[in-house]
Amino acid sequence: MSDNNILLVGAGGHAKAITEALESHALMAYVDSAAAPWLAAQRIDDDETALQSAEPANFVMGMGGVTSGALEYRFSLFERYLASGRAAPPVRHPAAHVSPSAQIEEGAIILAGAIVQPGAVIGRAAIVNTGAIVEHDSHLGAGSHLAPRAVLLGGVTVGRCAMIGAGAIVLPQGEIGDGQLVAANSLSPARGGAA
């Protein structure tokens, strides 16, 4: 991404990990109701003000979410920013490993130490958090969040805006439905839903 062409939507703790994945000079502005002294960029108070302009040309979601409601809100906000004419290039931390045959969709975020294996699909605006693993042929749905150290084993399908908690493991061919929660440090059954 070129110089100063990214808008960061949300500037809380999760955003710190995301900005580290960006080139340090790429951030032009951020949207948050509170000032973020750690950011050297212009602050915009609210989403409505930011959405009235098409500048900067690209955006990244700096906000996370750990409940299905929070992830649905985050995803609907993501779609509003797309509709404003901005692009949402995927963000990949330099310390993440992503297979060349993986498919990374717009707005997806892959943080430090994450591994995305061959044939995996990371959906629109999905989060693969620190040290998480997406094994071969797994699909992390749009707006979903794979928390730190969580693992999707081979051939797993995760629906839209689902939350896979920190350290959780979803067994091979597992299916996690839209908006479902897999609890932290749990082992999800191979078929049919949340643990």
The enclosing H or E element of 68 equals helix 68-83
Q: Which residues of 84-112 are buried (b: 16+ CB within 10 A; e: fewer)?
A: bebebbbbbbeebebeeebebeebbbbbb
Q: What gap in Å lies between CA 37 and CA 40, rounded to an integer?
A: 7
CB 155 within 8 A of CB 172: yes
Q: What gap in Å lies between CA 174 and CA 190, rounded to an integer?
A: 4
Q: Which of 14, 25, 97, 136 is catalytic?
A: 136
Answer yes or no: 145 catalytic. Answer: no
Residues with a catalytic annotation lie at 136
